[in-house]
Amino acid sequence: MIEPVAVPPASMSPGIALLAGITFVAGALGVFAVLAGRVRPYTLALGFAGAATQWGIAYIAMLGVGFWIGEALFALTLLAPVCVGFVAVRHARGQAGPIAAGLVCGVVNLLIVGSVVGGKDARAMVLESVAWSVALLIGSGALAGIGGALARRMPEIPGRLPPPLSLFALVNAATIFLLLVTGGLVTGLEAGLAVPDWPNSFGHNMLLYPVSQMKGGVYYEHAHRLFGMLVGLTTFTLTALCWRHESRAWVRWLATLVLLAVCVQGLMGGLRVTGTPTLAQDPSLLQPSIALAIAHGVFGQIVFATVAVLAACMSARWVAPTPAIVMDAGASIRALAGIAPVILLLQLFLGAAYRHLQVSPTEADARIVHPVWAMHGHLGFAVVAVIVVLLSASRLSGVARTQGNLSPLGRCGTSMAIVVAVQVLLGFIAWGAVMMRKGSAIPGWEVISTSAHQATGALLLMITLQGAVWSRRLVAAEPVLTATAARA
């Protein structure tokens, strides 16, 4: 298990740190609520996409990849606003301003300014925060402007963006996927308790915990928390956009339900560490919960899949005024597509239970203690899951081949078949890595394989749920009677 790194005492009491965090978050939500009403959705979607890209690249750069590679990756983050401006001009077709999208990217990145300046005296923190904030906003806007200028000078490239709300939901799903990946690494490195308190971090306000102190397991755990902040802000903005621009009430309420689910997911993640609402840092006063760790892992993938479904429901194909196609096998296609994600949820629970309930080796005992019921259940039920997924994929792909206007079903079916094959391969590699492990040191290939297996499982659940909802949108369960036939 990775031990937490010692950090300097917090610069404020835990209660004050929490109050400062709540104040900052409330202010940020207010700002983005206003932006959702004032800024065009494409501008917001592209700005958030640029920020999420920068966060993902920066996360890799801080994994100890070496000085030159790390510096090159940090330099690569500067291309994200350029790409944002380019896409705003070339593909948003006048519905997004490049500089405005760059400014949104900079505003989102203000979330991490506190980590850069944290740990200093109050005067230095204020001065450096102002300097960093101005630099982020001006730099992001200028780079996006350069991207827009390049787009105007280059030949036309065909391509069309999804509708703005659908695009923003896709960006939201991408941020959740990044959160799942970072969470998988936390579990794989056994760093879930590297930061002992929550919602503070070693007594610091979470957003002010110094990046210079994020070493070893502390980095993986605290970075996961920061990605959670990004997901929360993105989901809140998506919900505000839906209430502002989406006419269908059920979609607005689904977005609201997703926001509540993200809040619950964050609460479960925090209570998994502490076991009870408390600001204490003393491990002897805390009661980490394995049950909540399992629920946190499973529920996160459900949230990810649901946001992807929300993106589908706001896509151009979904809202097109075309009725579902009546076919004799419609009911069986819909039923099989609906069973597949349920089967995967059970398989996901067994996998999460196996991963969290196994006891790592110690110096006294070099063997991993496996939860036998979860291990055999996960391995055995995998056969059922693979069969069901492949049958559903075959039916979806088959009906798409016979009907030319059911391409979403074809894409889902093909993706399901490919991803389930990759998932099985990764599963065998991950299981072999865990079984071959000796001693308390965690091999790198075990971390990579188990985390990749978990991430691919999330993608598979998302795709199967997409297949289920698209089958209900595009395929009729039974013939629709005409008015004359009904009266007869």
The reported pLDDT for the residue numbered 366 is 62
Is 463 inside a domain boundary?
yes
Instruction: Report the domain count for the chain.
Output: 1
**What pLDDT, on a 0 to 100 scale, did the predictor assign at position 363?**
59
- Token pair in block for residue 18: 């929490």
Is 436 inside a domain boundary? yes
Burial zone of 473 (CB within 10 Å; 0-12 exposed, 13-18 middle, 19+ buried): middle
Q: Is there a domain that residue 308 lies in?
A: no
- Report the pLDDT value the prediction gives residue 12, as an integer from 0 to 100: 59
Assigned domain for 63 exists = no
Q: Would you give per-residue pLDDT tens digits along the chain (488 residues)? A: 444 444 444 455 667 776 767 777 777 778 778 877 788 999 999 999 999 999 999 999 988 888 889 899 999 999 999 999 999 999 887 888 999 999 999 999 998 888 888 777 778 888 888 999 999 999 999 999 999 999 999 887 777 899 999 999 999 999 999 999 999 999 888 888 888 888 888 888 888 888 888 888 899 999 999 999 999 999 999 999 999 999 999 999 999 999 999 999 999 999 998 888 888 887 777 888 899 999 999 999 999 999 999 999 999 999 998 888 888 888 899 999 999 999 999 999 999 999 888 877 665 566 778 888 988 999 999 999 999 999 999 999 999 988 878 899 999 999 999 999 999 999 999 988 888 887 777 888 889 999 999 999 999 999 999 999 999 999 987 665 444 433 33
Range of the domain at 363: 322-480
The answer to whether 195 touches 201, Cβ cutoff 8 Å, is yes
pTM: 0.92
293 assigned to some structural domain: no
Assigned domain for 13 exists: no
Q: Which pLDDT belongs to residue 281?
A: 81
Does 473 fall in a domain?
yes
- pLDDT value at residue 434: 86
How many Å is the maximal CA-CA distance in the chain? 83
Tell me, yes or no, whether 182 lies in a domain.
Answer: no
What pLDDT score does 145 carry?
96
